[in-house]
A and B are shown apart, each in its own frame.
Chain A
Amino acid sequence: MSNDAVLEIRDLHVQFKVYGGRLRVLDGIDLLIRSKEKVGLVGETGCGKTITMKTTIRVLPSPPCEIPRGEILFQGKDTLKMSRKELQYFRGKKIAMIPQDPTASLNPVFKIGTQLTDAIKYSASSKKNLTKKRILDKAMDVLKEVGLPDLKRNMNSYPIQLSGGMKQRVLIAMALVAELDLLFADEPTTALDVTIQDQILRLMKELVDRRGVSMLLITHNLGNIRESTDKTYIMYAGQIVEVAETETMFSDPLHPYTKALISSVPKLTGGGIAPGIPGMIPDYSNPPKGCRFQPRCEHATKTCMQKPALQQIAGDHKVACFLYQK
C-alpha cells in the first residue's frame, strides 16, 4: 500500500437486497487516490460510480445495502469498520462532497448565508473559537475564493435567486470550508451550460491545486475528465475496466469499452457519428459472469466468462481484459 494514499479501495463488493432478489452492483472495485492527485471516475449512467462514492462515506441506507467484501482505507483506516462517531470525524471535515444537481442540493427555504454558516459550524474540528464573527469571516473568505464577490448580496439571497453556476459555486464553497484531504465531485457540471461548466471545472482545479487536496471527479463526460484530471478510471457495470494516466488513457486506450466510449463522442474535427455500443447495461440482479462487458464486446471469447484481473501494462496503466493478459 502506497503511504501517500489518501483513499484506497480494495476489492469492494456492494449489493442491494430488494424484493425479487439481489442487485450485485459493485463487483470488486479497486481504486487508489494519492495525495494531491486529481482522479477521474468515468462511466455511464448506472455503472455504479455514484454508489462507489456513497459507500466510501457510508451514506447508503444499510438494510437494502450490503457490503459482503472489501476495504475502503481512508488515510490508512478502514471506513467500513468505523463506527458512526468515527465516521462523523471524517465526513464534512476531511472528506467532502459536491453533489450533482445544485438546485436540488440547496435547501430552498434557507438563505445562502445560513446554509454556509451551518456548514462551517458542522465542519469545525473543535467547538471553541467558533465565534459568530469567525464564522462569518470564514464564510466571506470562502465565497471570495469561489468567485462570488458580491458577498452581502449573496449571503442574503435564497437559492432560487441564484443561477445554476452560482449555486454550484456555493456548493463548492460549502465543501471547502473544512481542512479537506479529499473532495468528491459527483457530476458537478452536468446541469450547467458549457461555458459555465468550463468556469466551474477550472475553479475546482485551481482550488484543489492551491489547497493540496485530492479530488475524485465522477462524471460521464469524457471531455471534462480529460481536461481536469491526472488519472482516470473507466468503470463499466460495477467493474473497473481500465485505469491510466489521463493523457495516456485518451491517446492510447486499450480496453474495448474505453475505445468504444471515446469513439462515441462526436469530434469537433468531424468524422461522422459512431454507431454507439450495441446492447444495454446488464441487469444487476443477474449480471453476466466474469467480465460484465462481454455480451456487448466484439472481441469476446469463452475465456471472458471469468473475471479478468486488472493487469498492469506500463506504469499506472492497467487493463482488465483478456486481450492483454500476459
Chain B
Amino acid sequence: MKRQVLADLFDKDWESFKRGLFKFSRDPLSLIGLVIVLAVAVLASFAPYIAPYPEHAGKFVNFDEASQAPSLRHLFGTDAVGRDILSRILFGYRFSLFMGVIVLSIVVPPGVVLGLMAGYFKNSWIDTLIMRITDVFLALPRLVLALGVAAVLSPSLINSMIAVSLVWWPWYCRNVYAIASSIRNEFYVQAAEAIGARTPHILFREILPNCISPVLTMVTLDMGIVILLGATLSFLGLGIQPPTPGLGTMVADGAMYMPQSWWMSVFPALAIVVVVLGFSLLGDGLRDLLAEEKV
C-alpha cells in the first residue's frame, strides 16, 4: 500500500510506475538531469561547508587577490574585489533554489485551485471571472511584467520573488483549467455528482488527482525558468542586491571586465545554464515517465 502512495503522486498504479522508472533509468538525458538537480541541491544545501571561502559570500574585500585568473587556490578565479567566484556561485545556488522553491510554493496552490474551480464551473460566472483575470495576466510578457513590478518595488530578493510570483500563477491556472474542464465531463465525475458528493470533494478528490502529474512536470520545468528569470532580474539590478551573491548579479558585475577577466562572468553564467538545463532535462524525463503507455 505504501509503495502505491509514491506511485499515486505520479498518477499511476504501482506496475506502470515501475515500468516508467525503468524507462526513465534507460534514458541518459533524464538521468543527467536528475544528477544535475541533485548535485545542485546538495551543493546549495551544504554551501557553507563545501565552499572553500565561505566568508567571501558576504561583506568581504581583498584587493590583493582581486581579478585573479582561475588557479589552484581559486578554481574559478576571483572577482573585482577579491572574492572567490566558486564560493559565491555555491551560495548563489542557495538563493536561486530558495527563490525557485518559494515562488513555486506561493504560485502553484492558488493557481491550481483557481484552475480547478474555473474548469469545473465551466461556462458559469465563476469561470468567466477567474479566466478573464487570468487572461489579463497572461497577455503581458512575463519578463516585462516582472521588470515592471520589480522596478516599482524597491529592488531586493523578496521583491523580485513577488514580481516573479505575480507573473507565474496564471500559467498554472490556465493549464489546470484546461485539464479540469475536460475531466469534468468524464463519467466518474458525473458518477460522484450522481452519488451526491459535494463540490469540494469533487474538486479535490476526483478532479485534482488527475491533474497532478502534468502539474508536477510543469513545476519541475518551471524551477529552471524561475531561476533564470530571477537571474535576469538581478542581472538588471532589480533583484538580489550586493553583496549578496546572486548568479545574475555576478554576471552583470563581471560584464564590464569582459573579455580580459572572462572568468568573472562566464562561470556564473555557466552555473545558470547548468541548473536550468538540469531542471529541463529532469522535467522532460518526468513527462515521459508519466506519459500514457501504448500497448
Contacts and interface: CB of A to CB of B under 8 A. Distances in A.
Contacts of B19: 18-20
Interface string B1-45: 000000000000000001100110000000000000000000000
A18 B23 CA distance: 11
A16 B295 CA distance: 9
Contacts of B23: 19
A18 B19 CA distance: 9
Nearest to B20: A19
B13 to A, nearest CB: 14
Contacts of A18: 19, 295
A67 to B, nearest CB: 17
Which range contains the number of B residues in contact with the other chain?
under 10
Nearest to A23: B295
Interface in A1-34: 16, 18-20
A98 B295 CA distance: 21
Contacts of B18: 19
Interface residues of B, dominant DSSP: helix
A23 to B, nearest CB: 8
A173 B267 CA distance: 62
A20 B23 CA distance: 12
Interface string B189-204: 0000000000000000
Contacts of A16: 295
Nearest to A25: B295
Interface string B279-295: 00000000000000001
Central interface residue in A16, A19, A20, by most chain B CB within 10 Å: A19
Nearest to B23: A19
B19 to A, nearest CB: 5
A20 B295 CA distance: 13
Interface string A115-147: 000000000000000000000000000000000
B140 to A, nearest CB: 29
Nearest to A46: B295
A304 B295 CA distance: 29
A16 B18 CA distance: 18
A18 B294 CA distance: 11
A19 B18 CA distance: 9
Interface in B156-174: none
Central interface residue in B18, B22, B23, B295, by most chain A CB within 10 Å: B295
A191 to B, nearest CB: 17
A21 to B, nearest CB: 11
B8 to A, nearest CB: 20
Nearest to A16: B295
Interface string B64-98: 00000000000000000000000000000000000
Nearest to A20: B19
Contacts of A19: 18-19, 22-23
B31 to A, nearest CB: 17
Nearest to B15: A20
A18 B293 CA distance: 11
A279 to B, nearest CB: 21
B294 to A, nearest CB: 9
A20 B22 CA distance: 10
A20 B18 CA distance: 10
A78 B18 CA distance: 39
Interface in B187-245: none
A254 B53 CA distance: 86
A34 B23 CA distance: 44
B73 to A, nearest CB: 50
A23 B19 CA distance: 15
A50 to B, nearest CB: 11
Interface string B143-183: 00000000000000000000000000000000000000000
A19 B23 CA distance: 9
B30 to A, nearest CB: 16
A62 B55 CA distance: 59
A157 to B, nearest CB: 25
A264 B24 CA distance: 44
A46 to B, nearest CB: 9
Contacts of B22: 19
A180 B18 CA distance: 45
Nearest to A61: B294
Contacts of A20: 19
B14 to A, nearest CB: 13
Contacts of B295: 16, 18
User: Considering the complex of A and B, which 7 residue pairs feature the smallest CB-CB distances, nearest first?
Assistant: A19-B19, A19-B22, A20-B19, A19-B23, A16-B295, A19-B18, A18-B295
8 contacts: A16-B295, A18-B19, A18-B295, A19-B18, A19-B19, A19-B22, A19-B23, A20-B19
Given A18-B19, A18-B295, 6 more contacts: A16-B295, A19-B18, A19-B19, A19-B22, A19-B23, A20-B19
